[in-house]
Amino acid sequence: MAKRPVAQLINEADQATRIGDHAKAVKLLKHAAKDQSNSAEIAVKLADSLVASGQPAEAVKILNRSIQKHKNNAALLSSLVTAQRLAGNLNAALEAAHELTRLSPDSPQSWHLLGRTQMASADAPTAYHTLEHALSLDPDDLEIRGLFADAQLSSGVYPLPIDQAEEMVRLQPDNSRNHSRLGNGYRINTRFEEAIAAFDTAMSLDRHNLEAVAGKAEVLESLGQTDEAMSLVKPRIYTGQTSFLLLNCWARLCQRKKDPATAIGPIEQFISAGRSSAWHRSNLLIRLGQLYEKVERYDEAFQAWTLGNRLHRGRWDNEAHEQLIDRLISAYSEEAMNSLPRSDSKSSQPVFVVGMYRSGTTLTEQILSAHPAIAGAGELGQMNALAIELPEKLGDELTYPECIAKATPSVLAELAESYRAYAHQLAGNEDRITDKMPMNYLHVGLISLVFPNARIIHCTRNPMDTCISCYGNAFSSRMAYTADLNDLGHTYRQYKRLMAHWENVNTLPMIELNYESLVTDPEPVLRSILEFIEIPWDDACLSFHESKRINVTPSIDQVREPLYRGSMGRASHFESHLEPLKQALASG
């Protein structure tokens, strides 16, 4: 048989690619590469075909060899980003994507690839800004806009911004995915009627849209309609129609029905099949560990959490965090807190519920918001946003917290008004509004200056139980310390150090609410809390689990149950695994 010219081989490979015959394309392009081993074009085409045929690791090898010969080739780097990402080499993919943006800073696709890789690495907050820039370079690219909408919905900012999801529906009203994406935005923002309508529209356009099925079931479960949710999800699970969102929902439903064992098998099968992204696999492993714990398979639970946490492990900088605590203590020293100005806000409406994550902040807010005079605003990121904006408002070159030395009563009053306006969007205008953002423990000093008449509830819990509960939940990359026992112990110590400082300087009145005391004997604890925030007693606080209020935190289902002591001593089940945590908590 006569040897075919390279141009013909490439042309036939392109035809095979167009009809989805990637195996044939790979075969043809390998022949072409033998004749033109230095061709970057052939290397890109071959790598892309290998990726499409499920061989990203092989594609990485070919691209790396070609990049050695063709430095600063944007096409090779672009293919390498995707190949590394799909091969599971997220750090290498990020490195290549950053190099691509340096090489082609004006290319929207360079930033698009970086944003997609950041999303795959579960770093939605960073991806948000990357994709915002990509969209500014090409506002007409719907693929970029759609991914930007996904980043918004994963940003962790509440209420979630949904303008891009709404815009995608406007631009492509017949696209089922656009409606299910918007439905999830409505769901997380607790706009349930609109969410169900969006999911129904999505399913009318594509009855196989599992994102829409799972989303509608999540809404039904949040509304207490567990049986209806089960009837929607169960047939799909039993016929093998699985996805990350559907399995996550199924696990939640099975736990609600007190049957966690039923959810284990389908999740194990999905993970072992290797069909999920790194982020989805991480989250499912965390969920699987929770199911194992429920059926008392504790060693397997811990192993699943350890595997699930790999995605974020190593991203936390203990030294930088400790330096932040040092700077806060210095900026808000005893001398500073005695001399710094306060705003003229007389409002006693805000109640800040602070502490470590998983210390009982959600439970506390759910109980308090059952009171007719108290509204729960959820986890507001507004105090952190105000801290970030403060240097610009002060016109000072110093960053926060050092710039607080230049604060004026008028600027602090402006911050107070901005915060109250934001909180009222979410919680109305009751006598008290709770903000249960745990990390506001970092901002007790700023809160004291902005709201001199507010109150702070400091939630505490057994340190080992708090830390293992963090380890066994899926948090974002911004809380990467939860993925490593050493980082958890170090961060917990820094939290305790800062809280001890706040208690010894001129801050707002604070009261400690201990989780173990609350669940053991709730009424006297709650009476003291209500007295502290100057609200009369109401028996509704003891029936908080009957409230229709919805939470979107990892504690969402626990706060729909009456108080129970089952989480006390939780860490004891994992004793053999926790020596690194014990040492980290004890050191320093």
Task: Evaluate if pTM is beyond 0.75.
Answer: yes
pLDDT reported for residue 311: 87
pLDDT digits (tens, 9 = 90+) for 137-155: 999 999 999 999 999 998 8
Per-residue confidence at 554, pLDDT binned at 50, 70, 90?
very low
Tokens of residue 370, six digits = 């059952």
Alpha carbons 443 and 328: distance in angstroms, whole number = 9
Do the Cβ atoms of 153 and 162 come closer than 8 Å?
yes
Is the pLDDT score of 558 beyond 80?
no
Do the Cβ atoms of 502 and 510 come closer than 8 Å?
yes
Is the pLDDT score of 81 beyond 90?
yes
pLDDT digits (tens, 9 = 90+) for 113-140: 999 999 998 888 899 999 999 999 999 9
pLDDT reported for residue 428: 77
Where do the domains of the chain lie? Answer: 173-310, 344-493+505-586
* Choice between 273 and 490, residue whose per-residue pLDDT is larger: 490
Per-residue confidence at 552, pLDDT binned at 50, 70, 90?
very low
Helix (H, G, I), strand (E, B) or coil at 85: helix
pLDDT reported for residue 562: 65
3-state SS, 491-558, equals: HHHHHHHHHHHHHCCCCCCEEEEEHHHHHHCHHHHHHHHHHHCCCCCCHHHHHHHHCCCCCCCCCCCH
Is the pLDDT score of 334 beyond 90?
yes
pLDDT reported for residue 270: 94
pLDDT digits (tens, 9 = 90+) for 8-38: 999 999 999 999 999 999 999 999 999 898 9
* CATH of 173-310 among 3.40.50.2300, 1.25.40.10, 3.20.20.150, 3.40.91.50: 1.25.40.10
Quick check: bond before 108 cis, omega within 30? no
Tokens of residue 170, six digits = 């406007």
Do the Cβ atoms of 569 and 465 come closer than 8 Å?
yes
pLDDT reported for residue 547: 61
333: Cβ contacts below 8 Å, ≥ 6 apart: 505
Mean pLDDT value across residues 498-510: 94
Per-residue confidence at 555, pLDDT binned at 50, 70, 90?
very low
pLDDT reported for residue 561: 62
pLDDT digits (tens, 9 = 90+) for 415-434: 999 999 989 887 878 999 99
3-state SS, 421-449, equals: HHHHHHHCCCCEEEECCHHHHHHHHHHHH
The neighbour count for residue 442, using CB atoms within 10 Å, is 23
Per-residue confidence at 303, pLDDT binned at 50, 70, 90?
very high
213: Cβ contacts below 8 Å, ≥ 6 apart: 199, 203, 232, 233, 236, 246
Is the pLDDT score of 474 beyond 70?
yes
Is the pLDDT score of 160 beyond 90?
no
pLDDT digits (tens, 9 = 90+) for 479-499: 899 999 999 999 999 999 999
The CATH classification number of 344-493+505-586 equals 3.40.50.300
pLDDT digits (tens, 9 = 90+) for 226-272: 999 999 999 999 998 899 999 999 999 999 999 999 999 999 999 99
In the predicted model, what is the mean pLDDT of the chain? 93
**Residue 416: C-alpha distances to residues 26, 392, 431, 491, 535 (Å):** 62, 16, 16, 29, 22
**HSE toward the beta carbon, residue 459, CA cutoff 13 A:** 26
Alpha carbons 457 and 429: distance in angstroms, whole number = 20
Poorest-pLDDT segment among 64-68, 140-144, 475-479, 516-520 = 475-479
Poorest-pLDDT segment among 81-85, 464-468, 540-544 = 540-544
Alpha carbons 169 and 165: distance in angstroms, whole number = 7
With pLDDT > 90 as the criterion, what percentage of the chain qualifies? 83
Among candidate residues 173, 144, 149, the one with its CA nearest the CA of residue 161: 149
pLDDT reported for residue 550: 52
Do the Cβ atoms of 445 and 403 come closer than 8 Å?
no
Is the pLDDT score of 328 beyond 70?
yes
Angle subtended at Cα 507 by Cα 502 and Cα 513, rounded to the nearest 5 degrees: 65
pLDDT digits (tens, 9 = 90+) for 342-397: 999 999 999 999 999 999 999 999 999 999 999 999 888 899 999 999 999 998 78
Per-residue confidence at 553, pLDDT binned at 50, 70, 90?
very low
Quick check: bond before 401 cis, omega within 30? yes
pLDDT reported for residue 429: 84
Mean pLDDT value across residues 522-528: 96
